[in-house]
Structure formats: structure tokens, C-alpha cells
Structure 1
Amino acid sequence: MTDLAASLSAFMARVAGVGSLSGLQRLSGGANMESWAFDWEGRDGLCSYVLRRAPSAEYMADRPFGHVDEAALVIAAHNAGVQAPEVIGVLADEDGIGTGYIMRRIVAEVNPARILAAPPPSLLNALGRELAHIHAIPAETIPDAIPLMDTAAALAELRARFHDYGGNRPIIALAIKWCEDHLPTPVKPVLVHGDYRMGNIMADNDGLAGILDWELAHLGDPHEDIAFGCMTVWRFGELDKPAFGLGSLDKYFTAYQQAGGVPVDRERFHFWLVYRTLWWALGCLQMGEAWRSGADSTVERVVIGRRTAEQELDLLMLLETEAPEAERLRTLSPSRPAPETPTGEPTTYEIVTAVQDWLGATIKPDASGHAKFEVAVAMNALGIAVRDLVAPISAEDAARANDFLKGRVSLADAGVLAQLRRDALDKCAVDSPKYAALQRARKLWRG
């Protein structure tokens, strides 16, 4: 941190004038990029900033555009009146801090759980309004590096990635085939934020305070953005409030349209809800591959690699209407037996449990900032290992997956939905037992 502080101080002196840096700390979370908060006291008094960076240019090598273009896009959004952060400077190679840019810090809440516990009444309307404003950002202000998404080509890429990751998850295969069969016709492209959801928006008592994380932006179908924040995983347990965990789809769509957004097509919305859930299922597998290859050795990465089960459960909930009514009405019986009480020397299960409990009782209370976040992730990882030791569950079946991709088997076939439901429940119970949608699925599917 000392080297970072020195280099950052030199950079700030160039862009903000002579001053002094204080309070440098890494912010919690950040699945892809690092975020560092700090204060700078200079000609404008004491001001707070955030450094968003990747530690090296190599980390950005496989991305469609780099931080220079990302910063330019955020500047264009801010200048268009969108509640995007104000960028004050972009890092160069000679700064020695990696790649990234500096923004004025927005003082507001970003934690979805805290926002959703007592959301500002205006927040859902504001999210609809701001999304319409993003989609209206003038094309001539958007950097040339921002890519155009061809939906058919993007779906073909998802299929290829699925095969690269083993091609052996039947529910993912089912979703790929469904998307291929329901590919929407192209529409006039707009700027798509690409990650417009709880976790990337900031709120205070007055409502929406800022929109973060523009690294996935592209030109494409506005319905992709409209749907993304409505995915089950981004509602953080608020299952009865399908729009961002805040309220109804009707209210959200109305706010978007009244602010100049395109008329919302419900079928197109549903396609993108399925597509982006599929995209994130594969994104989770990709995180695991990044850890396995050594490209990212953090515990967070390998844990996210096991969140695929959440998305498989959600995909099945979205697609099961394709099955005959008689299949949907069938109920399941519990399939996992209760574990036996161990005797004799401590089992591997008990040793891992002991380490997990020690982290929670001894290490986590004294940790702070990003370190506390990392302890929580480690405890989560050990929890998955404990449950896997009790009753190992595999979601992998290459033959069944291939049958779905080829169209030889579908949800119209007797018994297929029941088997997929059972598999999804059992896998999610190991990987994400606190996932709210798991409890809902159990009630619906087990009667």
C-alpha cells in the first residue's frame, strides 16, 4: 500500500494540484476490479475520491476495451446528465499504478441488503428514468471502442464457452437451446450499460445517487439492460418484487417509458431475462476456470465458480412453463438423507467445520474493510466443502446435456422436468443453501 500511496500522490498532484493524500483503503467487494478510496487535501479543500484500477495491463488483455475508453464513456454519460461518477483523471503507464481512473467519491450506500431493507420511495422510478437516459446518450459521444453486440453471435459464443467448460451441465444446455429457438429479431442499437443492477447503483435518503461499473457497456438491445436488474440473483432475496427487488415490473416499465425509453416488449424482456441468467451461469464457471488456470488465485473467484447452481435453479424456474401442465404439477419427495452422527476420531467434515467456526469466532470480528470481506468468502468456501463432504452432488452429465442441445430431449418429455428439478435443488443445497430462490423452489416443487 505504501508504493500505491506514493504513486497515487504523485498522480493527484499533477491532476488536482499540490496536496496531501490520506485515508487510503481498499473497498470491499469488486469481483473484477480493485476500488480504493482516499482523501486529497489540496486547492479545493479536503475531497474524497475513488481509484478504480486493474493491477496490470495484462489483466485487461482479453477485454473489449480498456480503462481509457471506459473513462471516456463514463465522462460521456456524466456530461449527458446521467448519474454517473465524475472522472477527474485517467492513469497512464508511466504512473506505475496499473490501468484505471480516478473519480470523485459518491457518498451513499451501495450494499444491496442495506438499500433493500429501507429503500428510498423514489428509487425504482429513478432507476427506470436513468436507464432511459443511458439509452439516449448521443451516439457521437460514445467511444469508438465500445463494441456492438450481435445477439446471435453472442449466443454462439456462449455455446462455445459451454463446450470449453465441459459441455456437461444439462440445465445450461436446455437454456442455450431455448435461446437459440427464441432468438429475437434485431432492433436499433443503443448504449447498453451491461451491468445495471443492485450492487452497481448507489442510493441515499433522497433516492438514486450514482451508477457504477461501466466495464460491460456495449451497443445493443435496450431490453437487455431492462431485464438484467430483474434477474432473481440481483433481487437479493426480494422474490416478490421482480423489478430490482424494489417493486413491480409495471411501475418500472412505466417509469422507463415515461422518461423516453422504448416501449417494453414482454416477450423480448423474457428472452433477455433467460439469456442474461444463462450468461451469468457461464460467467460463474468462467470464474472457476480463472482460478484453476492461476489467472486469479483469490478465494472469491473459486467460490463464485460454485454459484452456477443458483443460476441453473433460476433458469429452470424461467423455462419450466415449456413443460406440459401435468409435468409441472408433479411434486418431488426429498432426495437427500440426513447425515449420520460421526464417532471415533474427528472426520474431515468436522475438521473443516472447526476451521470455519474458528474463522467466524476469532478472525472475522477483528478484521475490517476488504480483509473482513475475504474472511467471509473463506468461510463460505469452507461451508461448501463441508456440505460436499456430507453428500457429494454432481450436476455434470455430458450425455444429457448433448441431448438437450441436439433437441433429442426437451421439457415436453415425461419425467424430464422432475429430474432437472431434483438435480437443481440438490446442487443448490450444497453450493448456496441460503439462496432465497432455493426455499421458494422447494415449496413449489415439493408441494
Structure 2
Amino acid sequence: MYEFQTKLAAVMDRIVGDGAPIENLGRLSGGANMESWSFDRAGKGYVLRRAPSAAFMEGRSFGHDVEAELVRTAHRGGVLAPEVVGELTAADDMGTGYIMYRVEAEVNPAKILADPPASLVHDIARELARIHAIKPTADIPIPYMDTAAALGELKKRFLTYGGDRPVVALALRWCEDNLPPPVEPVLVHGDFRMGNVMADANGLAAVLDWELAHWGDAHEDLAYGCMAVWRFGHFDKPAFGASDLDTLFASYEASGGGKVDRARFRFWLVYRTLWWALGCMQMAEIWRLGADRNLERAVIGRRTSENEVDLLLLLEDDAPEAERERISLPIVAPPRRAGEPSAVELLEAIREWVDTGVKAKSAGREKFMAAVAMNALGMLVREAENPVDPHDAALSADLMAGKASLATPGLLPKLRATMLAKLANDSPKYASLAAAKARWLKG
């Protein structure tokens, strides 16, 4: 830490001058892809966003230099983007990244959505309209998204990851069959959601994390933040976990955004849910191949099942009414035996130790990682008690080829049952699980 702080002090001397010391340096929680460091200097707060090496930037369509200029452009355009102070250079020996003034507001989605400011959904709509008002320019060399080509890449990735998750295959085929025609491209933030925005009592305060920005369809941004996973438990409020879709769309149009096409919006809601399902698989591959053995990546890999249930909830309306019948899914754990502890009980013992020993005595990033470890152990306990296999390469191939569909007798109930059991193991508190059970098991 001392060496890191010394290098950072030299960077700030180069950018700001005056030789003031770095104070209160600490890594912010989260950040599976990039690091964020908060610090104070001469009475002002800053955040360093960085990748520690070039390896962390592999596969990205643009570097931090372009990202910093994009954030500057958005800030100048009236968007509540952070104000960039300066960028790292190769001579700094700190990787790549840039430094911003710190915004003092809440970023935790759970805290924001527990008591959201009254203007939140309107502020979100306004900021999206401002972002989408920025038209393509050579000054911002970010990629243009060809939706058909991007969908093709998702399919290739799925096959690389085994091509054996039927719900993902179903969603791929649906997107191919419902691909919308191209539109005039605008600036798309690409990751506009709760968790990447900050808010205070007065409303939205900042729009963060611009690394996925591209030129494309404005509906993508509108839909992405409405995904169930980004509502953080507020399943019944489909607009960013804060409101209803009618209010979001009306506010977006009133703020200068284009007319919302609901069919196009639905496509992007399915597409981005599919995209995140594959993103979770990618996290697992990154860990598996040794590129980054961070526990957080491995655990995120298990969140694929969240997206699979969400995809079924989005797509099942296209199934014949006869296939949307009630299913039953008894989940009965085996009885606990006496004598020596079982594998499940040993896992529970380790989980309790992490909770009372490691997590309780940690702070910051280490406390966060202890919670991640507890989450992983909980998955293992539930899976050991109720094993389920969601993999089926043959069915996935049939779905992608159109040989099977939601009209196939008995397929929808089978997919529902498998994914309810899988999600109950992976994320039993995920809001969509309760919603899916209420819809699928009633009667």
C-alpha cells in the first residue's frame, strides 16, 4: 500500500501540483472488472479508476484514455458525469486509468431504493435523454453496435461455454427471430443501472462507469436498467426498481428523448438479460482459465441462473396457453443424520466461521470478500442437499435450430422446474425466484 500511495502522490503532483499528501486512501467495495480507489488531497475528494495492468484491458473496445474523454464530453453536455481531473500515463507505472473528483452521494442500490428520492425515475429519464442527445463523432472513437453481429457473437460465446443451457438457447433463438431493424445511432451508456448511479435526497447525483459505452439504439439503455437483476429486490417496480414503465417512458419522451417503441424495448430487455447470463458465464471462464482467480468472479458465474429465470418470465407469454400450466416442484432436503458431520454440515461450519471470525473482524474490501465467500459456501450447502443439473446440450441445439420451442409439449414446465431448483440453490433471496414461484406454482 505504501508504494501504491507514493506512486499516486507523484501522479497528483504531476496533474495538480503543490505536493500535498494523499490521505484516507482506500479501495472501494465491488468492482469485479476495474479497481476504484478513493482518497483525499488538500481538502478535496478524488476517485482513481484503474486497471492494474494491460491484461485487465484485454477484450475491451477502447482504453481508459478514450473513456476519460467520453466522460469529459458527457460532463460538458450537461450529463451528471464525474469531472475528470487527469489520466495515468505509462511513466506512472500504475496501469491505466484516470482520476475524477469524488461525488459525495449514495451509490448502494439497496439504500437508494429503500427510500428513493421522489424525482429519481424522472432524473434517470432526463439523464438518459441527455446521453442519447450526443451524436456519433470522430472525437469519441467508441464502437458502433451492429445488433445482428453482436447477437452472433453472443451465440459463438455460448457455444464456447458449452452451448448446453436450454433457456439461454431459447433466448438466443428468440432474439434471432425478433431482431429489430437498425435505427439512427446515439450514444449508449451501456451500463446505466442502479449500482452505477449515485443519488442523494435531492435526486440523481452522478452517472458512473462508462466502460461499455457505444453508438447504438437508445432503447438498449432504457431496457438495461429495467432488468430484474438491477431492480435489487424491487421486482414489482420494473423501471429501475423505482417506478413503473409508463412513468419512465413518459418522462424520457418529455425530457427530449425519442418516442419509445415498446416492442423494441422488449427485445432489448431480453437481449441484455441474455447478454448478462453470458457475462456471468464469462466470469466463470476467466476464473477457470486462471486469468483472474478472484473468488468474486467464480461466484458471479453462478448468477447465470438468475438470468435464466428472468428470461423464462420474459418469454413465456409467447408459449401456447396450454403450456403455461401449473407445475409442482417439491424440494425436500434429506434428513440430517447423527454421528460424524456430513459434508453439508462441514460446509455450514466453515460458513459460520467465516461469518463470526473473518467477516466480523474485517472492513472494506476484505469484509466484502468474506461475504462473497459466505455466499459461495451457502451455494454448496444447498446444492449438496438438492442437486440439479441445468445442462442439456441436445435440447439447447434443438432450440437454437428451431426444432424445439415453447410450443413443444411439456418443455415449458420442464424448464420452469429445472430453473426454479437451480436458482433456489444459487440465489434463494433473488426477487425473481419468489415472483416465479407465485406465477408458476399457484393453483
Tell me whether the two structures share a fold, i.e. TM-score over 0.5. yes
Shift of 1:169: 0.2
Q: TM-score, normalised by structure 2?
A: 0.98
**1:67-146 equivalence runs, <5 A:** 67-140=64-137, 142-144=139-141, 146=142
**1:392-431 equivalence runs, <5 A:** 392-431=387-426
Q: What amino acid sits opposite 2:22 in the alignment?
A: L
CA contact (8 A) 2:190 2:210 kept: yes
Q: Could you give the per-residue CA deviations for residues 198-250 of structure 1, whole angstroms, max 9, x where no partner exists?
A: 00000001100000000000000110001000000000111111100000111
**1:328-407 equivalence runs, <5 A:** 328=324, 330-407=325-402
Q: Find the counterpart in structure 1 of residue 58 from structure 2.
A: 61
State how many pairs are aligned.
441
Percent identity at matched positions? 57
Return 249-258 or 300-309, whichever deviates more. 249-258
State the distance in 2 between where 1:16 and 1:338 align.
61
CA contact (8 A) 1:76 1:141 kept: no
Q: What amino acid sits opposite 1:284 in the alignment?
A: C
Q: Find the counterpart in structure 1 of residue 9 from structure 2.
A: 9
CA contact (8 A) 1:168 1:397 kept: yes
Q: Find the counterpart in structure 2 of residue 302 from structure 1.
A: 298
Q: Find the counterpart in structure 1 of residue 24 from structure 2.
A: 23
**1:133-212 equivalence runs, <5 A:** 133-140=130-137, 142-144=139-141, 146-212=142-208
Q: Find the counterpart in structure 1 of residue 48 from structure 2.
A: 51
State the distance in 1 between where 2:340 and 2:280 align.
36
Q: Could you give the per-residue CA deviations for residues 364-408 of structure 1, whole angstroms, max 9, x where no partner exists?
A: 122111111100001001111111111221110000101101111
Q: What amino acid sits opposite 1:93 in the alignment?
A: A
3-state secondary structure, aligned to 1:70: helix
Q: Find the counterpart in structure 2 of residue 32 from structure 1.
A: 33
Q: What amino acid sits opposite 1:150 in the alignment?
A: D
Shift of 1:139: 3.1
CA contact (8 A) 1:116 1:246 kept: yes
Shift of 1:440: 1.2
State the distance in 2 between where 1:382 and 1:58 align.
29
Provide the aligned C-alpha RMSD in A.
0.9
Shift of 1:61: 2.2
CA contact (8 A) 2:136 2:185 kept: no
CA contact (8 A) 1:91 1:98 kept: yes
Please, which runs of 5 or more residues in structure 1 have no aligned partner? none
Q: What amino acid sits opposite 2:414 in the alignment?
A: Q
Q: What amino acid sits opposite 1:38 in the alignment?
A: F
Please, which runs of 5 or more residues in structure 2 have no aligned partner? none
Q: Find the counterpart in structure 2 of residue 436 from structure 1.
A: 431
CA contact (8 A) 1:76 1:142 kept: no
**1:246-261 equivalence runs, <5 A:** 246-261=242-257
Shift of 1:338: 2.6
Q: Find the counterpart in structure 1 of residue 241 from structure 2.
A: 245
Q: Find the counterpart in structure 1 of residue 441 from structure 2.
A: 446
State the distance in 2 between where 1:432 and 1:186 align.
36
Q: What amino acid sits opposite 1:245 in the alignment?
A: G
State the distance in 1 between where 2:402 and 2:382 align.
34
CA contact (8 A) 1:335 1:422 kept: no
| Residue 270 in structure 1 maps to residue 271 in structure 2 | no
3-state secondary structure, aligned to 2:137: helix
Q: What amino acid sits opposite 2:62 in the alignment?
A: F
CA contact (8 A) 2:33 2:56 kept: no
State the distance in 2 between where 1:199 and 1:60 align.
21
State the distance in 2 between where 1:22 and 1:332 align.
58
Q: Find the counterpart in structure 2 of residue 324 from structure 1.
A: 320
State the distance in 2 between where 1:79 and 1:31 align.
29
Shift of 1:142: 4.6
State the distance in 1 between where 2:230 and 2:179 align.
24
3-state secondary structure, aligned to 2:230: helix
Q: Could you give the per-residue CA deviations for residues 269-302 of structure 1, whole angstroms, max 9, x where no partner exists?
A: 0000000000000000000000001111111000
CA contact (8 A) 2:333 2:386 kept: no
